[in-house]
Amino acid sequence: MLIKRCLSFVATAAFSLSAMAWQPTGKVECIAPSDPGGGWDFTCRSAGNVLKDLDLVPGTVQTTNMAGAGGGVAFAHTISKRSEDDKLLVAASTATTTRLAQQQFPGMDASMVKWVGALGADYGVIAVGKDSRFKTLKQLMDGMKENPRSVKFAGGSARGGWDHLKVLIAAKAAGVDKLPSVPYLSYNNGGEALTQVIGGQVDAFTGDISEATGFMDSGDLRILAVLSNERLPGKFSEIPTAKEQGIDAVAPNWRGFYMPKDTSDEAQEYWTDALEKVYASDEWKAVMKKNGLIPFQPESGTFEEFINKQVADIEQLSREIGLLK
């Protein structure tokens, strides 16, 4: 009898400890470091919906748009104002690591936040308005080879950011000279940049496939190339890669999250596990298929290592093409 009581007590204690494990209560917030319509906004809203559908959060996830400095305003806000907020997620991507690699967030680096996880990759595209004189990526690049200033690009990241780098990666592979002189106009998000291209104010768009999908579906945008190793699946399979057009340029943009540095390890563990559940769900697979996301998720516990390596790699690339001294 005594042994049974002891076993019962142990089981009850184990259950109680399990029940007391950290879980979010109250409002969960996701900061999108851009205005509505961009890739970070898409990441917050789409992942937030699936977190709710899977009952991983109490109620809905509130998306807060905080544009500025290519994600720097949100990064600084997280560090200085919300350092212990364990119910805060911040959307991030290769654009984030690019800015960190180029020291564009003054006095801040990747170690000042906790990196939670990724939910797929969004491949870069180069696109033009439906009435553009450029019918292929080769035509566009040939125009730039004649005069690097002749083609004006618009993107949703700051100058020197990941959207800008995509153009320079493709241009370098095509043999374009004087890469720093290629005109690039920075907007707060991809949606705003796309509007300028479709309106004819700018020649070409550089961004991600998820940002371009709506305008592609409406027929207002022609995607000249996707910057991936192979053609994307589904409705995107008709879009040629840059590689098959003779330009060896690949530019994946992972989409994921970081959280404040001074939160508990238990909270980070919870959100890491929650994102893994989102990634494995049928609901998220449907989101990925609809928006052209490609499977991508570093193994659990290795995301921070991945981030540090990418920052180092982009820093080296930025030096090679003259964006960083």
Question: In the 3-class helix/strand/coil scheme, how is 183-229 assigned residue by residue?
Answer: CEEECCCHHHHHHHHHCCCCCEEEEEHHHHHHHHHHCCEEEEEECCC
pLDDT value at 315 more than 80: yes
Residue 322 has a CB neighbour count (10 Å cut-off) of 12
What pLDDT is attached to residue 322? 81
Q: Per-residue pLDDT for 19 more than 80?
A: no
C-beta pairs of 171-175 under 8 Å, 24+ apart in sequence: 171/141, 171/144, 172/249, 172/321, 173/242, 173/247, 173/248, 173/249, 174/138, 174/141, 174/144, 174/145, 174/247, 174/249, 175/141, 175/145
Average per-residue pLDDT for the chain: 91
Paired sense of beta strands 293-294 and 204-208, if any: unpaired
Q: Under CATH, which architecture does the 123-252 domain have?
A: 3-Layer(aba) Sandwich (3.40)
| In the chain, domain spans | 25-122+254-320, 123-252
What pLDDT sits at residue 309? 93
pLDDT exceeds cutoff 50 at 115 = yes
CATH topology of 25-122+254-320 equal to that of 123-252? Answer: yes
pLDDT class for 5, splitting at 50, 70, 90? very low
| pLDDT higher than threshold 70 for residue 308 | yes
Q: Do 186 and 158 contact (CB within 8 A), yes or no?
A: yes
In this prediction, residue 129 carries a pLDDT of 97
The pLDDT value given to residue 244: 97
Q: Is the pLDDT of residue 263 over 80?
A: yes
Whether 142 has a pLDDT exceeding 90, the answer reads yes
- Can you name the CATH fold of 25-122+254-320? D-Maltodextrin-Binding Protein; domain 2 (3.40.190)
